Structure 1
Amino acid sequence: MANHQNSANGWSKPSDQRTTGKVITCKAAVVWGPGQPFVMEQVQVDPPQKLEVRIKILFTSICHTDLSAWQGENEAQRAFPRILGHEASGIVESVGEGVKDMKEGDHVVPIFNGECGDCKCCKSEKTNICHNFGVNPFKKVMNNDGKSRFSTKDGKPIYHFLNTSTFSEYTVLESACVVKIDPEAPLKKMTLLSCGVSTGVGAAWNIANVQATSTVAIFGLGAVGLAAAEGARARGASRIIGVDINPNKFIKGQAMGVTDFINPSEPGKPLHERIREITDGGVDYSFECIGNLDVLREAFLSTHEGWGFTVVLGIHPTPKMLPLHPMELFHGRGIIGSVFGGFKGKSQLPHFAQECMHGVVDLDKFITHELPFEKINDAFQLLIEGKSLRCVLQL
Structure 2
Amino acid sequence: MGKVITCKAAVARGPSQPLVIEEVQVDPPKRTEIRIRILFTSICHTDLAAWKGENESQRAYPRILGHEASGVIESVGEEVTDLKPRDHVIPIFHGECGDCVYCHHPSTNICKNFGVDPMRKEMPSDGKVRFWSKGRGEPIYHFLNTSTFSEYTVIDSSCVVKFDPRLPLKKLSLFSCGVSTGVGAVWFTANVQAGQKVAVFGLGAVGLAVAAGARARGASQIIGVDINPNKFEKGKAMGITDFINPNELQKPVHEVVKKLTGGGADYSFECTGNLQILREAFLSTQMGWGLTVLVGVHAKPDTLPIHPMELFSGQSLKGCIFGGLKGKTQLPSFAAQCLEGAVNLDEFITHELPFERINEAFQLLIDGKSLRCVLKL
Whether TM exceeds 0.5 here: the answer is yes
Shift of 1:279: 0.8
Aligned length: 376
Structure 1 equivalent of residue 143 of structure 2: 161
Contact preservation (8 Å) 1:93, 1:104: yes
Alignment of 1:1-395 (within 5 A): 20-153=1-134, 154-395=136-377
Mapped partners of 2:326, 2:175: distance in 1: 12
Query: In structure 2, what residue type is equivalent to 1:266?
Result: E
User: Can you give the 5+ residue segments of structure 1 that lack an aligned partner in the other structure?
Assistant: 1-19
Mapped partners of 1:135, 1:76: distance in 2: 15
Mapped partners of 2:229, 2:350: distance in 1: 16
Query: In structure 2, what residue type is equivalent to 1:227?
Result: A
Shift of 1:98: 0.6
Shift of 1:347: 0.4
Mapped partners of 1:301, 1:177: distance in 2: 36
Mapped partners of 1:324, 1:144: distance in 2: 39
Query: TM-score if structure 1 supplies the norm length?
Result: 0.95
Shift of 1:356: 2.1
Structure 2 equivalent of residue 5 of structure 1: none
Mapped partners of 2:356, 2:16: distance in 1: 18
User: Can you give the 5+ residue segments of structure 2 that lack an aligned partner in the other structure?
Assistant: none
Query: TM-score if structure 2 supplies the norm length?
Result: 0.99
Contact preservation (8 Å) 1:215, 1:284: yes
Mapped partners of 1:83, 1:267: distance in 2: 42
For the residue of structure 2 that corresponds to 1:336, the secondary structure is strand
Shift of 1:322: 0.2
Contact preservation (8 Å) 1:219, 1:286: yes
Mapped partners of 1:349, 1:343: distance in 2: 7
Mapped partners of 1:68, 1:272: distance in 2: 27
Contact preservation (8 Å) 1:76, 1:137: no
Query: In structure 1, what residue type is equivalent to 2:303?
Result: M
Contact preservation (8 Å) 1:200, 1:225: yes
For the residue of structure 1 that corresponds to 2:206, the secondary structure is helix
Aligned-residue CA RMSD in angstroms? Answer: 0.6
Query: In structure 1, what residue type is equivalent to 2:366?
Result: I
Q: Please identify runs of 4+ aligned residues in structure 1 that moved more than 3 A.
A: none
Mapped partners of 2:78, 2:56: distance in 1: 34
Mapped partners of 2:284, 2:42: distance in 1: 33
Shift of 1:160: 0.2
Shift of 1:75: 2.5
Mapped partners of 1:77, 1:165: distance in 2: 15
Mapped partners of 1:264, 1:178: distance in 2: 40
For the residue of structure 1 that corresponds to 2:101, the secondary structure is coil
Mapped partners of 1:312, 1:76: distance in 2: 22
Mapped partners of 1:356, 1:77: distance in 2: 33
For the residue of structure 2 that corresponds to 1:359, the secondary structure is helix
Higher helix proportion (structure 1 or 2):
2
Shift of 1:77: 2.5
